[in-house]
Chains A and B, each alone.
Chain A
Amino acid sequence: MSAKHRELGLTDAEFELIVEKLGREPNDVELAMFSLLWSEHCAYKHSRKLLRRLPTEGERVVMGPGENAGAVDVGGGYAVAFKVESHNHPSAVEPFQGAATGVGGILRDVFALGARPIAILDSLRFGELDSLRSRHLLDGAVRGIGHYGNSIGVPTVGGEICFEAPYEHNCLVNAMCVGLAKQEEMVRAAAAGVGNAVVLMGASTGRDGIGGASVLASAELGDGDEAKRPTVQIGDPFEESKLLECCLELLAKGLLVSLQDLGAAGLTSSASEMASAGGVGIEIDVARVPLREPGMEPFEIMVSESQERMLAVVEPAKVDAVLAVCEKWQTGGAAVGTITEDGTVRVLREGETVGEMPVEALVDGCPLYDLAPEEPAGWIYGNRATLGPDASPAETLPALLASPSVASKRWAFEQYDSIVGSRTARRPESAGAAVLAIPETGNAIAVSIDGNGRRVACDPHAGTVEAVLECAQNLACVGAEPLGLTNCLNFGNPEKPAPAWQLDRAVSGLAEACEALGVPVVGGNVSLYNEGPEGPVYPTPVVGMVGELPDPTQTAPSAFAREGDAIALLGPFEPSLAGSELAKLRGELDKGLPEPDVPAVAAACAAIREAVRAGKVVSAHDVSDGGLACALAEAAIGAGLGCRVDLQHLRERGCTPQEALFGEGTGGFLLSGDRAALESLATEDVAVLYLGEVGGESIEIAAGDQSLTVPLTAAEAAWRSLGERVERGA
């Protein structure tokens, strides 16, 4: 047995299984195709069994997991499609193109359903800012996202950026797209109709990205990453904008039977997955594929990850009409194959068979593995103190505000067009979530993306439940009710015991939180092997949620608005320093996190949602990184107005002054407005604590012997320091 299969990432046992299924040894074309479809990235070998725990059904679900993206009903015959996907490994090697093509890929997943993309959001994680590598990756990724999203004219309306040492070697770049479609114009991916034509549209096929899925995305990164550079794909947003218009026109005219985008593993995965979903066979003649360079081998053509391509199934009588629309939009179009009835993926070159495999073997034949999870005994990620133990509260608050994970991300989001399309009612940093008007239906949607690595490392179950709640809280702040969720699970090597345990506990947390909130999972992505020589990344589930709200003019900003307004805290907030930003700065991170009270947080979300819709609050800000003191500071800075508050009522819940100031956890909503209106929100299930008033030029917080006063100007300088640190070197 040659070792070729091992070079391509297949184990000996997997190779033997392929031989058994084919009844013979695979040739080079077949081996290449199997190695890709049976890679972790494409086959989800270690996660598929776990993902079966997730709730995927709901009244409003129009498309669930298994399609190019998920979709929910937003009324008026319209649906909102959305999904999040990772592009971690390519971005760690070449951040500009890695992030750009991550955006390109997720856009295609959404318009493959027939939905016009209307928003992009990104969740990014890098090592600490004092590392040149991390500044380089951050800069490249932000420029790449801006380049692609801005050029194609889809607004980037939200996101998050986080900096932690465990991401130093393996950054995380998760891109989410939201699209709008008329339900009657949506299309599924399943191929159908024996004898129908298979048409390849978009850019020509070249040698870029070959082996990206098996070589890059399914293995740890180590030395010799430069040698992996050819496996990073190159994006062209102009090409994609033409392809997008072409596809939407084809769907509006009813010219396509089905549509699938080409992503990881290129033609191999698209063709095979379309055939599998439709229970048919498929034949592709590589000689008919428009090529970017001469002399490409059949296996190269089948595994190329050249960007900006889509595969469609078309009735033979409509092929000419389809090609004419491609011509109008100046994008490529070629009939490259046929749908057959023999359940086989057949690759031809000028009519001669060069590869032949059963669809079932390729797509579903891959073995699924059980994890061998083992909880680590202690905290496996180390600690690094940057704040002395004798720092006063007045020194601690600016240190937290300046901490790159907490600080304003304006340096980044000003590089993104957040307004094209004229739907953006809440721009980045102005409210808990992005809000997009849907004039077609008269209502609006809100979108948020929230992940958590460090807190999930403290307790994967509790931390993941928190990530889901955080997202729901952000939507509540703009009056939105969650309709569906997408998730990206970014973890280390699942063949090792600790990451396996993290993944197993996190998926349980995700399933339970979604079940308890009644929010179905409509799609998502798993990225494993995010691990370098120093160990795995923090276990990082990233959650994207879409919610609906009836009136886009009734949302609340995060910042205070008026001098004299009352300030209050609503919800079951019980702050703890476990897993907090302060614990990180002090070098005191350890295992353990309080388990959130999901029903109590859900009740608080419902109360906030109703209050915001009814115009009863002037501002609403979810308490998260850095705790209540940071939330107060952020609301004050946004207003250009100080505040005077006393945390006595919060301390009466049984927390220390430090915990009241800087402790973290779910269930905290910081509100401002008319005192009577805020206090009227209290019920048996929902507590409201009066804290103080908006006014003055300082942030004054009374908290026993930990009271602090920080001038607003100093707080703002700290919170807005990220850009300078990135440009000049932290």
Chain B
Amino acid sequence: MIWGVLQFPGSCDERDALHACLLAGGEARLVWHEERDLGGLDAIVVPGGFSYGDYLRAGAIARFSPAMEAVAEFAAAGGPVLGICNGFQVLCEAGLLPGALLRNENLRFVCRQVELIAAFGGPETPKSCDRPGESLSIPVKHGEGRYWAPEEMLDEIEARGQVAFRYAPGQNPNGSARDVAGVRNEAGNVLGLMPHPEHAVDELTGSTDGLKIFEGMR
């Protein structure tokens, strides 16, 4: 299995994601934002950080990069894509995931360990997170992480089982609608979440619950 982790000017957590991919199993390499060739890659990770300095809006410029154009094709063909934090923002800007990420309710950046509930189940779910209700301890660190979509869209997303993770009761750090922490596309191969599973892969630096999310992509 070969993972590809995108790297934009301003990405911060790409090396952390690379390390997490290696721990989950397989090989991994960085994909520079100007590359179009994703040949040989089995899964793509769009990492966290401040791509292009969050100029205009978080993720607004990265979505136009050559690498992201290639990722859109990869996803349309059913390839697995994981977007983390800024990566989630990029995927929403690119229209590969529904909804948008707005400024945190309290208007401040927040870095905190939170409890997530894996909110989906069924045959298309990633293997390791297929127990709905499973609780994961994963850190968040963002200033624009408040998930939002119009009420009707939220109803549809929920009805189709596209909500992948919710913050556990009382743990919502940013005012996200319906406590949504992560969503999938309809086809189920693109997953985006605001919390950082790549920072939950080693007991020394936190929990290891994040590994399950990477393993579920294999």
Contact = CB atoms under 8 A, between A and B. Distances in A.
Contact of B205 (A153, A330, A425): A425
Contact of B141 (A241, A420, A422): A420
Contacts of A329: 9
Contact of B111 (A152, A237, A419, A423): A419
Contacts, number: 80
Contacts of B9: 238, 241-242, 329-330
Contacts of A47: none
Interface residues of A, number: 30
Interface string B50-85: 101111000000000000000000000000000000
Interface in B1-51: 9-13, 15-16, 19, 49-50
Contacts of A552: 204
Nearest to A411: B108
B109 interface: yes
Interface string A401-441: 00000000000011111111111110000000000010000
B145 to A, nearest CB: 13
B55 A238 contact: yes
A419 B206 contact: yes
Given A241-B9, A422-B19, A417 B111 contact: yes
A329 B199 CA distance: 27
A420 B14 CA distance: 10
B110 A422 contact: no
A275 B198 CA distance: 45
B53 A238 contact: yes
Contacts of A422: 15-16, 19, 198-199, 202, 205
A414 B16 contact: no
A367 to B, nearest CB: 44
A134 to B, nearest CB: 18
Interface in B189-208: 196, 198-199, 202, 204-206
A45 to B, nearest CB: 39
B112 interface: yes
B141 A150 contact: yes
B141 A151 contact: no
Nearest to B206: A419
Contact of B204 (A146, A415, A421, A553): A553
Contacts of A413: 111
A423 B19 CA distance: 12
A236 interface: yes
Nearest to A245: B9
A415 B108 contact: yes
B141 to A, nearest CB: 5
B14 to A, nearest CB: 9
Nearest to B51: A238
A416 B142 CA distance: 9
Nearest to A417: B141
B139 interface: yes
B205 A437 contact: yes
Contacts of B202: 422
A419 B49 contact: no
B45 to A, nearest CB: 15
Given A237-B50, A414-B110, A552-B204, A153 B55 contact: no
A241 B10 contact: yes
Contact of B13 (A153, A237, A238, A241): A153
Nearest to B173: A414
Given A238-B9, A238-B55, A422-B202, A416 B19 contact: no
A150 B52 contact: no
Contact of A146 (B54, B109, B196): B109
Nearest to B139: A419
Interface string B133-146: 00000010101000
- Give the one of A418, A420, A422, A437 with max B CB within 10 A: A422
Nearest to B32: A328
Given A419-B139, A419-B199, A153 B49 contact: yes
Contact of A415 (B19, B49, B110): B110
Contacts of B50: 150-153, 237-238, 241
A242 B7 CA distance: 12
A415 B109 contact: yes
Contacts of B110: 414-415
A12 to B, nearest CB: 47
Interface in B152-188: none
B16 A421 contact: yes
Contacts of B52: 238
B91 to A, nearest CB: 20
A657 B12 CA distance: 52
B53 A419 contact: no
A419 B205 contact: yes
Nearest to B113: A427
Contacts of B206: 419
A419 B12 contact: no
A424 B111 contact: no
A689 to B, nearest CB: 33
Interface string A238-266: 11011000000000000000000000000
A418 B111 contact: yes
A553 B205 CA distance: 10
Contacts of B15: 421-422
Nearest to A425: B204
A420 B109 contact: no
A157 B108 CA distance: 18
B13 A416 contact: no
A437 B199 contact: no
A152 B139 CA distance: 19
Interface in B110-134: 110-112
Contacts of B19: 422
B131 to A, nearest CB: 27
Nearest to B48: A420
A553 B199 CA distance: 17
A413 B54 CA distance: 22
B16 A420 contact: yes
A413 B139 CA distance: 14
Nearest to B19: A422
Nearest to A242: B9
Nearest to A415: B109
- Give the one of B15, B50, B112, B205 with max A CB within 10 A: B205
Contacts of B143: 150
Contacts of A419: 111, 139, 141, 196, 199, 205-206
B71 to A, nearest CB: 21
B53 A420 contact: no
A151 B199 contact: no
A420 B205 contact: no
A151 B204 contact: no
A437 B49 contact: no
A330 B10 CA distance: 11
Given A150-B50, A238-B53, 16 more contacts: A150-B141, A151-B10, A152-B12, A153-B13, A153-B49, A236-B53, A237-B50, A238-B52, A238-B55, A242-B9, A330-B9, A415-B110, A419-B199, A420-B16, A421-B16, A552-B204
Closest 10 CB pairs of A and B: A238-B53, A153-B12, A151-B50, A417-B141, A422-B16, A415-B109, A146-B109, A419-B199, A417-B111, A425-B204
18 contacts: A146-B109, A151-B50, A151-B54, A152-B50, A238-B10, A238-B50, A238-B52, A239-B53, A414-B111, A415-B108, A415-B109, A418-B111, A419-B141, A419-B199, A420-B12, A420-B16, A420-B141, A437-B205
